[in-house]
Structure 1
Amino acid sequence: RKITALAIIGLLVLFMFGTNLTERQAFKNISSTFTEVYNDRLVVEGYIFRISENLFRIQKLVDHCDSNYDYSRVVDEIAAHEQSILEIVNNFEKTNLTTSEEQYLKDFRSIIENDLQIKNYSLLYSDSSGVNLSQVQLYDKKISKAQEDLDNLSKIQMEEGEKLINKANIIINRTQIWSQFEVALLIILSLTLYLLLFRNKMILNN
């Protein structure tokens, strides 16, 4: 009986050690998941907001091209906003991207680098002919397409964030189950020790 009881105790201890390791790994996974939520989703949402802000300023400069601005200064301002956008995109590309994010970001970068580069302000406005409406509308169309890419990227952040939170909830639920199992093992271990020690004493006393 002693050997059997000791074997049971040994098995229970091993089970408890195993559940403890499982819980530790679960907490590491939870920590990793929430780190991913912050670094790859919340921070990225901040990137998207800053990009949108710069894109809005570009559109404002383009749409108000008949204002009394120094032409060269406007071109420089637009170029500065585009440079700011590309710097943020560079940081964006270093995060953990999904396949869809890579595609939208690639398309967005192409629009900024190839379609919105204004080399000469006279393409938009000149004193002799006024606003080049067709060119302004073309830029507006490209800006709208870039904003559409940003909107899609923002939706992905929400979707991926929800997936990560659901993943964390699953891990937490599993950890709770393992904790309950561990409590049950402790109860069984206590009963086994009680029977092993006190029952033998009772038998010897009798």
Structure 2
Amino acid sequence: MPKRTLRQRIHAGFVLAAAFLLVLASNRLNNRNFSAVEHGVDSVFEDRLVVQEYIYRLNNLFHKKELFLANNTLDDKGLPYYPEIKTILADFEKTDLTREEALQLSSLNENYAELKTLEKAHLKNQASEEDIIAVLGSIGKNLDELSEVQLSEGRQLTQRSKRSLGMNELLSRIEIVFLIIIGILFLVIVFYRDKPNMELVEDEA
């Protein structure tokens, strides 16, 4: 039986264990990065693109009110009522809001409540069109700010997803290099044999 066989087996076991741990750790990191990418993609769609559509629809509806006021005649009384505004705002609040979004959406709801109050007062000639136009202007600013948030957040989510994918690519390359090194070490351990000890022969005088 060749020498150091037990030591070779122990070393081989360590190498295989290292390879297993490397693959396991790499797999967990890759899964985490893919989860981050998946969450980023879902968030871009559900909390950014969908919300951008909400903002677009709200902007159109409030703009119709502005056009109505601009083309108003003395025979026209109440502003057009759009019940879908309330529905869109309720759906908006169900999305994953950032701090800035929550502030702007809260301000938008307050301005919309004020607008409804002014519209009712306008029917009784107790509110001027200038007051309503001023509130509609504030609502427009809220919508502009919310639109800017969508662009900013969408850009950040995209950048995070790209970083996660880049990290996965880097980890894959590192894993390949380490597996090659581990494979070479394993072959060296398995096929390495000690040279037989050379016996020293003393010349007799």
TM-score range relative to shorter protein: 0.7 to 0.9
The Cα of 1:158 is off from its aligned counterpart by 0.7
Aligned to 2:144: 151
Runs of 5+ unmatched residues, structure 1: 125-133
Give the aligned residue type for 2:125: L
| 1:29 aligns to 2:36 (yes or no) | yes
Aligned residues: 187
**CA distance in 1 between partners of 2:102 and 2:80 (Å):** 25
Let me know the Cα RMSD of the aligned residues: 2.4
Aligned to 1:123: 125
Over residues 53-90 of structure 1, what are the superposed CA-to-partner deviations in whole Å (9 max), with x where a residue is unaligned?
10011111122220765x4xxx3x622x2x21121011
TM value normalised by structure 2: 0.82
TM value normalised by structure 1: 0.81
Contact 2:104–2:145 (CA under 8 A) maintained in structure 1: yes
Contact 1:86–1:109 (CA under 8 A) maintained in structure 2: no
**5 Å matches for 1:58-137?**
58-66=65-73, 71=77, 75=78, 78-79=80-81, 81=82, 83-117=83-117, 118-119=119-120, 120-121=122-123, 123=125, 135-137=128-130
**CA distance in 1 between partners of 2:109 and 2:173 (Å):** 51
Give the aligned residue type for 1:104: Q
Deviating beyond 4 angstroms after TM superposition, the runs of 4 or more aligned structure 1 residues are none
Q: Secondary structure at the match of 2:128?
A: helix
Higher helix content, 1 or 2: 1
Pairing partner for 2:168 from 150, 175, 199: 175
Over residues 142-171 of structure 1, what are the superposed CA-to-partner deviations in whole Å (9 max), with x where a residue is unaligned?
111100010000001111111111111221
Contact 1:9–1:192 (CA under 8 A) maintained in structure 2: no
Runs of 5+ unmatched residues, structure 2: 1-6, 196-205
Pairing partner for 1:18 from 5, 13, 25: 25
> Sequence identity, in percent?
22
Contact 1:26–1:175 (CA under 8 A) maintained in structure 2: yes
